[in-house]
Chains A and B, each alone.
Chain A
Amino acid sequence: MKNKKKLMPWLFSFPSLILIALIIIFPILYTGYISFTNMNLYHWFDFKMIGFDNYIRALLKLDSGFLMALVVTVLWTVLNMILQVIAAYFIALGLNHKGLKLSRVYKTLLMFPWAMPAYVSILLWRVGMFNTEFGLLNQILKTFGLSEINFLSTNVPAFISCMVLNLWMALPFMIMMIDGAMQSIDQSYYESAKLDGAGFFARNKYITIPAIKPIMAPAVIMTTFTTFKQFDIVYLLTRQKGALTGATFQTILTYSHENAFVSNNYGLSSAVSIIIFIIIILFSLYTNRSLKEENQ
């Protein structure tokens, strides 16, 4: 009986763990293995182990450009997450307002950006919104008599443009998560709070936020990872081959893409991948610790 009790959770988790081992752990191990070989264009099929050479080279590549990219990535992640969570919170709050009859319609419409494949949205934004000659944003500026802006040719406007696009693409998920969490709050709490005369802020601070926090924590953490790993937006908007826009800021993924992956040197790029993975782990251990301390 006791043994059965111990086995039970593993039995429950077993199917998931198999899948994860196959699709997530195996590739990491394989990447680790390749990172110790000289697999590149000239040794595509006949590669052999070469020890830590790739790691030494990869670490030598971690120059100022890499550090800058890391700083940009952290800034990108933090700014995006703050804006995203706050905006989504207030939107979800509005959607849950009792008197809002059309909330279902609004909710569906707000989900629209999410329903499109990412690269489609990004291309649409690049050509339809940000384009200098006929992009919608510049046409709006023009009708107000303002001069055109080349949104993507210099770093700061391009970074902000990428962030706007990321918000546009990521908010639907956040709104849906927070909305779902808010649905789970027992309405009787609010009723008694109202009787106690609690105002808007008090209700949010003492009921809504504490109630949704445990549900939201995993979603927020996951989104933080996704934001950190975000590659498509920066790449497709500003750095696509043949369509470079002039902005030069990079995240660590675009930076290593350009510095290792384009070269077809799989050994080296695997070493870079493993190093980035370690950096992400350190980063997340750090954020997780601060999260844990807050919780306990």
Chain B
Amino acid sequence: MSGRKAKNIVGLSLLNLIFIILCIIALLPIIYALSLSLSGDSGALSSHFSLLPSKISLANYQAILTEKPFLQWLSNSLQLSVATMVISIGFGVLAAYACSRFRFRGRRTMLMMLLLLNAFPQILSMFAIFRLFKDMNLIDSKIGLVIIYAGTMCIFSIWNMKGYFDTIPVEIEEASKIDGASDMKLLFKIVLPLARPAIIVTSVMVLIFVWNEYLFATTFMLNEHSYTLAGGLYQLQSSDYSRSWPMFSAAAILVSIPILIIFFCIQKYMVSGLTAGGVKG
């Protein structure tokens, strides 16, 4: 028995070691950026680079926060990603539920079609969307961007959540159906709580997509104050010739922090509802 315990401890330590190494690999470029961003304005790129900067200075962070409308961008990013998330998840849940629970004509075709449509490279849509939005007066408007983002992520949301809905046993719903619950009620009371991990994962995906998108954000927003974080960063630092690397990496770090906080917070909700609520409750 104690031998088994020892083996377990060795195994666990090994696993921890592997994960520490993995994390270091994943973080190496980011540590590089962090160190660059903390090096103050003196250090541009450097050939004798060490992961720990010799002197730590927050000058770059201060410059970004004060010289650029960073907080405005942050708020734009937040508004856009939350709005997109609500719309594409809200719409997506409904469609995914329909595709998962109803056996209607054209269901397979529709799902297949959606998948194929998703194959069209999005950069190519720019010009067409521009023409459309110009007529609809949606240029330089947040609503326009939300529509673009939600439309882009809609197919993903549908497919992703449908896969998960399929794994939820229909029996659970049928029991309630006998009680006379409507479709809507079923969806909200039973399916959604069970599919919580899928909904959270999908929402985070949508959020990150919007958070990191810059091409549409910079093309359809015309005013410096309406950029998103990624768009503003892109607009300011896109050319090799004008880029200040320390400042660029500081901005990059600042852009990623909110996402990481969200990651950390959602993890406790990621545990499945299936075992927690479905079978027992």
Contacts and interface: CB of A to CB of B under 8 A. Distances in A.
A and B touch in the complex (CB under 8 A): yes
Given A23-B125, A106-B23, A117-B252, A214 B120 contact: no
B204 interface: yes
Interface string A168-180: 1001110011011
Contacts of B167: 184, 211, 214-215
Interface string A203-227: 0000000010011111101100100
B28 A136 contact: yes
A217 B163 contact: yes
A177 B164 CA distance: 11
Interface stretch (A11-19, A51-59, A70-78): A11-19
Contacts of B212: 116-118
A158 to B, nearest CB: 18
Nearest to B240: A243
A178 B119 CA distance: 23
B251 to A, nearest CB: 8
A9 B127 CA distance: 33
B163 A117 contact: no
A231 to B, nearest CB: 7
Contacts of A31: 124-125, 127-128
Contact of A284 (B116, B129, B158, B245): B116
B234 A100 contact: no
A100 B19 contact: yes
Chain B interface category by residue count: 35 or more
B99 A134 contact: no
B281 interface: no
Contact of A106 (B19, B95, B148): B19
B200 to A, nearest CB: 8
Contacts of A217: 163
B254 to A, nearest CB: 11
Interface string A90-132: 0100110101101010111111111111111101110111000
B155 A187 contact: no
A164 to B, nearest CB: 10
A184 B120 contact: no
A41 B147 CA distance: 30
B76 to A, nearest CB: 15
Contact of A183 (B18, B99, B120, B270): B270
Contact of B26 (A22, A100, A110, A243): A110
Interface in B155-174: 155-156, 158-160, 162-164, 166-167
Chain A interface category by residue count: 35 or more
Contact of A16 (B91, B164, B197): B91
A288 to B, nearest CB: 8
Interface in A15-35: 15-17, 19-20, 22-31, 34
A16 B94 contact: yes
B155 to A, nearest CB: 6
B22 A110 contact: yes
A233 interface: no
B128 A184 contact: no
Nearest to A283: B119
B270 A134 contact: no
Given A13-B95, A13-B110, A28-B120, A116 B252 contact: yes
Contacts of B99: 9, 13
B1 interface: no
Contacts of B137: none
B119 A280 contact: yes
B255 A15 contact: no
A20 B114 contact: yes
A139 interface: yes
A242 B240 contact: yes
A154 to B, nearest CB: 22
Given A13-B99, A23-B151, A218-B160, A109 B27 contact: yes
A23 B152 contact: yes
B47 interface: yes
A284 B111 CA distance: 13
A285 B112 CA distance: 9
B6 interface: no
Contacts of B47: 133-134
A2 interface: no
6 contacts: A8-B102, A8-B183, A24-B151, A27-B132, A124-B33, A214-B166
